[in-house]
A and B are shown apart, each in its own frame.
Chain A
């Protein structure tokens, strides 16, 4: 089986750690600006797309 899409990382400003978890790297950020910057950098580095699940939670998905 081929897995075509996978979540490579999560970026969030939500520090209540029981809401974001799992087997991927999670980047905790302090501000919205930092969140966007980290997501933009990750997107560029790993050739994924930064998708917004909510305002304070982004996931980087490899397509």
Chain B
């Protein structure tokens, strides 16, 4: 026991619990069970230790010790690789895959959360040593609130209006509103599709949103999330029963065609509205000003 024991313990505990709080089994359905969680809690513990130990090292004038933070960076980049590989592997066997954009987004979030843990541990330990335990606890709470704010992106209901439209056939062409989805030839299949299919039109609220919801990764994420929430009427070897999203080129609306097991319209609208806007799909054409180019 020395003067650093309690600050270090405090920092590690705060950091690890921070990771625990951020590790929810949520709409992403990942990680689900104990083994996946154990991995992330352990990594969170390591991150917390790294952040915590940096402070006493500096105070003892062991400046080289700080270099192991760089080790942490490469370590957690590895976490991102690990997550990406696992999810890519699993994605092949999903009835409705997540898509690469979504996977990349989740992997980035996992990496980012570990850095948040490092920062939290580092700052709380610093405050504990510089002031006292109560100030450190307050810092922890403030940091938790900040990271919670940082880690929540917007959802689809913030950027689009969602409207239910019953899908219909024009000849062999399946339509949601006036958006062509696909060609289904067999009358039996058509009946199935009309019986189980639901259509939604997502109307962008502004110009920037058009490109965001047009992103194929974002569209796949919508299909995946809705299928996870409402179930999916589909099996291997039935390629005709595939949920699809197509775009109206005229005005950027997208037509969502899904085959849910749960035919509850309100729930479906809520599920679509809760789909996260993928970081990697966000486009902001209006932020680009061609006339400004070359003047900076």
Give chain A's interface residues, CB within 8 Å of chain B. 36, 39-40, 43-44, 47-52, 58, 63
Give chain B's interface residues, CB within 8 Å of chain A. 171-172, 182-189, 236-237, 239-240
Q: Do A50 and B185 touch across chains, with their CB atoms under 8 A apart?
A: yes
Some 19 contacts from A to B, beta carbons below 8 A apart, are: A36-B186, A36-B187, A36-B188, A39-B185, A40-B188, A43-B240, A47-B236, A47-B237, A47-B239, A48-B239, A49-B184, A49-B239, A50-B184, A50-B189, A51-B183, A52-B171, A52-B172, A52-B185, A58-B185
Q: Which residues from chain B contact A58 at a C-beta distance below 8 Å?
A: 185-186
The answer for the CA separation of A30 and B189 in the assembled complex, in Å, is 21
Q: Do A52 and B239 touch across chains, with their CB atoms under 8 A apart?
A: no
Consensus secondary structure, chain A interface: mixed
Q: How far is the CB of B186 from chain A (nearest CB, A)?
A: 5
Tell which of A36, A40, A63 touches B239, judged by Cβ atoms closer than 8 Å.
A63
Tell which of B171, B186, B236, B237 touches A50, judged by Cβ atoms closer than 8 Å.
B186
Q: Which residues from chain B contact A63 at a C-beta distance below 8 Å?
A: 239
Q: How far is the CB of B183 from chain A (nearest CB, A)?
A: 4
- Contacts A40-B186, A48-B239 known; list 9 others, CB within 8 Å: A40-B189, A43-B186, A44-B237, A47-B237, A47-B239, A50-B186, A52-B172, A52-B185, A63-B239
Q: Which residues from chain A contact B236 at a C-beta distance below 8 Å?
A: 47
Q: How far is the CB of B213 from chain A (nearest CB, A)?
A: 23
Q: Do B237 and A39 touch across chains, with their CB atoms under 8 A apart?
A: no
Q: For chains A and B in complex, what number of residue pairs have CB atoms within 8 angstroms? A: 40
Considering the complex, give the chain A residue whose CB is closest to the CB of B236.
A47
Considering the complex, give the chain B residue whose CB is closest to the CB of A45.
B237
Q: Do B187 and A50 touch across chains, with their CB atoms under 8 A apart?
A: no
Q: Which residues from chain B contact A50 at a C-beta distance below 8 Å?
A: 184-186, 189, 240
The answer for the CA separation of A51 and B189 in the assembled complex, in Å, is 11
Q: Do B237 and A51 touch across chains, with their CB atoms under 8 A apart?
A: no
Considering the complex, give the chain A residue whose CB is closest to the CB of B183.
A51
The answer for the CA separation of A23 and B211 in the assembled complex, in Å, is 40
Q: How far is the CB of A6 from chain B (nearest CB, A)?
A: 13
Q: Which residues from chain A contact B186 at a C-beta distance below 8 Å?
A: 36, 39-40, 43, 50, 52, 58
The answer for the CA separation of A44 and B188 in the assembled complex, in Å, is 13
Q: How far is the CB of B92 from chain A (nearest CB, A)?
A: 16
Q: Do B188 and A51 touch across chains, with their CB atoms under 8 A apart?
A: no
Q: How far is the CB of A19 from chain B (nearest CB, A)?
A: 18
The answer for the CA separation of A49 and B210 in the assembled complex, in Å, is 30
Q: Do A51 and B172 touch across chains, with their CB atoms under 8 A apart?
A: yes
The answer for the CA separation of A2 and B183 in the assembled complex, in Å, is 23
The answer for the CA separation of A63 and B239 in the assembled complex, in Å, is 8
Q: Do A51 and B185 touch across chains, with their CB atoms under 8 A apart?
A: yes
Q: How far is the CB of A11 from chain B (nearest CB, A)?
A: 9
Chain B CB within 10 Å — which of A47, A49, A51 has the most? A49
The answer for the CA separation of A43 and B237 in the assembled complex, in Å, is 9
The answer for the CA separation of A63 and B187 in the assembled complex, in Å, is 20
Q: Which residues from chain A contact B183 at a C-beta distance below 8 Å?
A: 49, 51-52
Q: Which residues from chain A contact B182 at a C-beta distance below 8 Å?
A: 49
Q: Which residues from chain B contact A39 at a C-beta distance below 8 Å?
A: 185-186
Q: Do B239 and A51 touch across chains, with their CB atoms under 8 A apart?
A: no
Considering the complex, give the chain A residue whose CB is closest to the CB of B241.
A49
